[in-house]
Amino acid sequence: MANFKIDGTVVYISGDISISEGESLYNFLREIPFFKEEITVDMKRVESWDTSSFQTFISWMKSTEMSIKWKNIPEEMSSDLKITGLSTLFKGVQK
């Protein structure tokens, strides 16, 4: 089960964000107010994912004008992003 919340300019994503949660994740991200110029996505507590998760994030990144900084992407997820050739799309990664 996935959990999503926003606190100011930080989005916290945790749990299982695989295909079964794709629609709710995308709807959550899409509803973040566009008045924010920059937002940080903290993924410290993400436990599982799949390539549909990556597609969801990419769709959101392409549909928003906000600058997105990624924080605490799990090492295994970073490896999967590299293997799929998508790591360059996740700019501004912080630990």
d(CA 68, CA 16): 21
φ/ψ region of 3 (left if φ > 0, alpha if ψ in -120 to 50, else beta) reads beta
Give the number of domains in the chain. 1
pLDDT digits (tens, 9 = 90+) for 48-86: 999 999 999 999 999 888 999 999 999 999 999 999 999
What six digits make up the tokens of 62? 């392409």
**Phi and psi (nearest 5°) for 7?**
-135, 100
Q: How far is the C-alpha of 51 from the C-alpha of 10, rounded, in Å?
A: 23
Residue 57 belongs to a domain: yes
List beta partners, residue 41.
11, 70
For residue 33, what pLDDT band results from cuts at 50, 70 and 90?
A: confident
Structural domain range at position 56? 2-89
Q: Does some domain include residue 94?
A: no
Q: pTM for this structure?
A: 0.89
Q: What is the CATH number of the domain that holds 28?
A: 3.30.750.24
